[in-house]
Structure 1
């Protein structure tokens, strides 16, 4: 596999046989101890994925930059790793908002279900990342009472974007938790939905756009042209 086929937020499964060797080679276990170390050592063996992230300047382009977050009770540490493409065994399907709603804690379920309803209304398939994703995948406690609900909204066209952003703002305001996340363009680049909404309200305003190669400020009104 070539790493250029992956996008930010993609979930990848790694060969268990190569996992511990890779951790030792990178020194990723050096700052861990006890339960946290055992969790990370057994991560691939349990079939748990890692998440693709953007690399930094000077990183090895032949490897895939990925992340692995630990639950808050183990320090909420985010491990940054590099996976040789040959050690990737599968791409894991994104967690849909509708599926996440079924496993969300009771106090968050109405808000997540409402987000799924927004997706249906606009013919979109939003996905979940952040604490809700990792709690769903691992069965461990990642969500805190004030955790954000992090969602990815693939929006290939400008049509109805303003209405979608207004609906997200209304759902965010209604709570109980903060609604965060990104609008994902057809190129795979992403912009925070709240920042994009504010920028679109002001002619010539810029918004931070993230890609696998970095981040840059771009004119919000030109993102879909």
Structure 2
């Protein structure tokens, strides 16, 4: 993969790393030598996640991996050569049901039904995603249910009201973002609570932007 292709990655993309490139990266990171889980991460076919880029990282892929609470809950930042990584298919919420606590079953079913009613497919994020992918204990009794909601244009009418209603009665907090067609992400709760002319924060891979909530809801391009 050439560097230009690497620029097409978006926040929250999952990336598989070639084991040889992982070993080479670790050789340059003595600070990670004794950190739990890290040495065999790529050998166990565990992905990393694209993070926001920082100055000086041009030509490299900015990535990260979060450790579970028992290993310090540390968020480890990495940079990798573009030829060392490969895009992984996003993980739908439906694929993580086995990792969900029993107390979440009713809410997950409601969320899935809401998405289906509005033509949206929720993706897992946060602790649920990482526990599902790795089998490590990321979830606790205070964990949020983190979801990503990709939209192709306008946010379907009534969707955010429905999500807020589920959140209000759920035993856990529903967190996460609406993922916009241009790759930006906006917190669903902030978007729901904002007046149409009010600005909300949109996060991109390489920048932050303020946009009017009404324009986002209508699917207007940036």
Normalising by structure 2, we get a TM-score of 0.92
Q: Are residue 20 (structure 1) and residue 23 (structure 2) matched?
A: yes
SS of the aligned residue for 1:221 comes to: helix
User: Shift in Å at residue 159 of structure 1?
Assistant: 5.1
User: Shift in Å at residue 128 of structure 1?
Assistant: 0.5
Q: Residue 59 of structure 1 is aligned with which of 56, 61, 67?
A: 56
Q: Are residue 139 (structure 1) and residue 135 (structure 2) matched?
A: yes
User: Shift in Å at residue 46 of structure 1?
Assistant: 0.3
User: Counterparts of 2:196 and 2:164 in 1: how far apart (Å)?
Assistant: 20
Residue 174 of structure 1 corresponds to: 169
Residue 216 of structure 1 corresponds to: 209
Q: Residue 192 of structure 1 is aligned with which of 164, 184, 187?
A: 187
User: Shift in Å at residue 220 of structure 1?
Assistant: 1.4
What are structure 2's unaligned runs of at least 5 residues?
none
Residue 204 of structure 1 corresponds to: 197
Q: Do the aligned partners of 2:196 and 2:215 also contact (CA within 8 Å) in 1?
A: no
SS of the aligned residue for 2:38 comes to: helix
* Deviation >6 Å, runs of 4+: none
SS of the aligned residue for 1:40 comes to: coil
SS of the aligned residue for 1:59 comes to: coil
Q: Do the aligned partners of 1:51 and 1:67 also contact (CA within 8 Å) in 2?
A: yes
Q: Are residue 103 (structure 1) and residue 99 (structure 2) matched?
A: yes
User: Shift in Å at residue 140 of structure 1?
Assistant: 0.7
Normalising by structure 1, we get a TM-score of 0.91
SS of the aligned residue for 1:107 comes to: helix
